[in-house]
Amino acid sequence: MLLLLLLLPPLALALSPPSSLIVQNKGGGHGALGFHLARNLAALGHEVTILQDAAYDSSAEPFCSYPSLPASVSVVRFDAAAGELPALGEFANVVDNFSKDVGAPVSAKLLALKPERYVYVSSAGVYDPPASHGGDDSGPLLESFDVFAKGQVLFERALLASASVPSFSFRPQYIYGPNSAKHYLDYFFDRLLSGRPIPVPGSGEQLVSLTNAIDVASLLAAPLDRSVSLSKRGVYNCGTSNVVSYNELCALCAAACGKKADIKLFDPAVAGGKGAFPFRENSFYVLPTKAEEELNWKGEASIKSDMAAVWANYVERKGRGGGGDFAKDDVILAALA
């Protein structure tokens, strides 16, 4: 066997498929990313292993769709609570959609794998913007802004400081799309179909970025292209340039389901908080400018063009009858009255 390998030309050796490990959490807003990334990397010729936290719900998305993954993707369950990784061999790439604490056993073992490239899924929720930031015209959150020094940030910093683990960290925000488990726009559809007002904090002109999970996965895959220099390692916002206002979201959802939006603007300070509203009270959005410039990436989706699919998914899950818990709405509407 050794003689055969020595006789093979360098090109033949180089054509062996890259090996990529995706460490996947049990769900939540990031739950669909491992699924879509595995499909993405498999299409690029990677041999992919999803190391899946065994605490997941196999009947929920995206996990119930695992059987549809390509043959080059294998799924291995592991007991994340025990902090042990199974023996998996070596990987050229590790995509970490799991770790939130640099001191946790699983985190330490992932760092010890020392792949050629390590991609970490952080969160745009780590930003600690200045007090002046957040009004209607505040602009996007930038990679240079201050962050909260805990959890994901500490893990992020440990990765970036390690010369032996070349790392790229991504900060996504408000993920939607196929095989997702969180559905932010249900807030609007529930009220539209129930014939109820839609409470919206502030002016409604605050901006938000909602990013399709398929676009997020394609960005996570970008630094695994060997044409991307390791000198580009660092932190990147993970979002879309197609930002929308809360008022626009109300109108888009209303048009999709054929209803008229009755928007009730309110002051959270007077109403006792934002109620069940799924987004922040202030403008809160990221732009992928740095990723576009340095990683040669461009997102393709927008919530406007995807709205018909989002509405169809809502109908598939919940029907057209509306409904929901509107107790917090009633408190806000009473304060308005």
Q: What are the extents of the domains in the chain?
A: 18-336
* Amino acid 15: pLDDT: 55
User: What's the CA gap between 36 and 216, in Å, rounded?
Assistant: 9
CATH node for 18-336? 3.40.50.720
With beta carbons less than 8 A apart as the criterion, state whether 181 and 28 touch: yes
User: What's the CA gap between 215 and 174, in Å, rounded?
Assistant: 12
Grouping H, G, I as helix, E, B as strand and the rest as coil, residue 37 is: helix
Amino acid in position 264: K
* Amino acid 115: pLDDT: 95
* Amino acid 52: pLDDT: 96
Reported as a single tens digit per residue, the pLDDT across 15-51 is 577 999 999 999 888 999 999 999 999 999 999 999 9
* Residue labelled with tokens 């922040």: 280
* Amino acid 132: pLDDT: 78
User: What's the CA gap between 323 and 321, in Å, rounded?
Assistant: 6
Q: Residues in the chain with pLDDT < 50? A: 1-14
Q: How far is CA 9 from the centre of its chain?
A: 41
What pTM was estimated for this model as a whole?
0.91
- Please list, in sequence order, all residues whose beta carbon lies within 8 angstroms of the beta carbon of residue 40, skipping any fewer than 6 positions away: 217, 218, 221
Structure token pair of residue 107: 């985190």
User: What's the CA gap between 58 and 24, in Å, rounded?
Assistant: 13
Reported as a single tens digit per residue, the pLDDT across 83-136 is 889 998 899 999 999 998 888 899 989 989 999 999 999 999 999 988 778 777
